[in-house]
Amino acid sequence: MALRSLHHVLNLLEQSAWQERQQFQRLTTVWSEVVGATIATQTRPIAIQRQVLQVATSNTVWSQTLAFERVRILDRLNAQLATALVDIRFSPRQWQTEQPAIATPTALLFQMHPCRVEATEPIAHQNSIESTSANQTPTIAFQHWAIAMQTRSQHLPLCPVCDCPTPAGELQRWSMCTHCVVKQW
């Protein structure tokens, strides 16, 4: 067995996680088309674990009914997906719980990360910047982004070292912004 560098192994793991996320996103976009509108309102794909799709149902009757149809649904899903699923599990257990669209450890870590700032809607400047997407040039897109970033950072506390707006989580964790912490390392 040949030894691989840590960088190579991490790249392989990251690629695998990225492919799983893409597979799940593709699945959620075709779900209602594959199962139909009625079933789609009573079900919600939760995650793919070891090529088994976990689906939350609104009640046990739907779980039992869909369990009998799982082979047909599985065939139709596999025709739409790049990597074939081996099974589907239906359960009402996670129907009431609010979960992110992609229930992965990475998504959960992002929700709790100290650098995370809730996105807010930018203030519309209709006079200075066109808001139609058909007329968007890179310059206009950058101006929209700059306004959004300025609006988002207005309420943030300042870093004591560089006086830049900093998420509160970073100040609690390091007593300064990430950029100043990295400079010290």
pLDDT band at 134 (very low <50, low <70, confident <90, very high): low
User: Is 99 in the same domain as 47?
Assistant: yes
Q: Across-strand partners of 45?
A: 55
Tell me, yes or no, whether 37 lies in a domain: yes
pLDDT of 10 over the 90 cut: no
Residues 139 and 71 grouped into a single domain: no
Determine, yes or no, domain membership for 61.
yes
CA distance 123 to 147: 7
Q: For residue 53, what is the domain's CATH number?
A: 3.30.300.180
| pLDDT above 70 (res 16) | no
DSSP assigned state of 175: S
- Do 79 and 139 lie in one domain? The reply is no
Same domain, 21 and 82: yes
**3-state SS assignment for residue 152:** helix
Dist. CA 112–CA 172, nearest whole Å: 13
Q: In terms of C-beta density within 10 A (0-12 exposed, 13-18 middle, 19 or more buried), how is residue 55 classed? A: buried
- 66 and 20 part of one domain: yes
Alpha helices in the chain (DSSP H): 6-35, 37-42, 60-68, 70-80, 105-112, 138-153, 168-174, 178-184
**Tokens 């088309």 -> residue:** 33
Could you list the residue range(s) of the whole structural domain that residue 62 is in?
16-105
**Do 99 and 28 belong together in one domain?**
yes
Write down the pLDDT at residue 97. Answer: 64
Do 24 and 97 share a domain, yes or no?
yes
Looking at the fold, whether 34 and 94 belong to one and the same domain comes out as yes
Asked if residue 75 lies in contact with residue 47, where contact means CB atoms within 8 angstroms, the answer is no
Predicted confidence (pLDDT) per residue in 104-130, tens digit:
555 666 666 666 666 554 444 444 444
All residues at 6 or more sequence positions from 5 whose CB lies less than 8 Å from its CB, including other chains: none
Given 57, 88, 105, the domain boundary residue is 105
Same domain, yes or no: 95 and 140: no
- Position 174 in a domain: yes
Q: Could you tell me the pLDDT band of residue 94, with boundaries at 50, 70 and 90? A: confident
pLDDT, one tens digit per residue, over 44-93 is: 999 888 889 999 999 999 999 999 999 999 999 999 888 889 999 999 98
- Burial class from Cβ neighbours inside 10 Å (0-12, 13-18, 19+) for residue 185 reads exposed
> How would residue 169 be classed by pLDDT, with cut points 50, 70 and 90?
confident
Exposed/middle/buried for residue 46 (C-beta within 10 Å: 0-12, 13-18, 19+): buried
Query: Same domain, yes or no, for 73 and 23?
Result: yes
User: Do 27 and 86 fall into the same domain?
Assistant: yes
HSE-up of residue 163 (Cα within 13 Å, Cβ side): 0
Hey, which residues does 56 pair with through a beta bridge? 44, 91
State both tokens at 134: 């058909």
Domain count, the chain: 2
Average per-residue pLDDT for the chain: 79
Q: Does 113 fall in a domain?
A: no
Tell me what pLDDT residue 108 has. Answer: 60
Same domain, 82 and 156: no
Taking the C-alpha atoms of residue 176 and residue 159, their distance in angstroms, rounded to an integer, is: 5
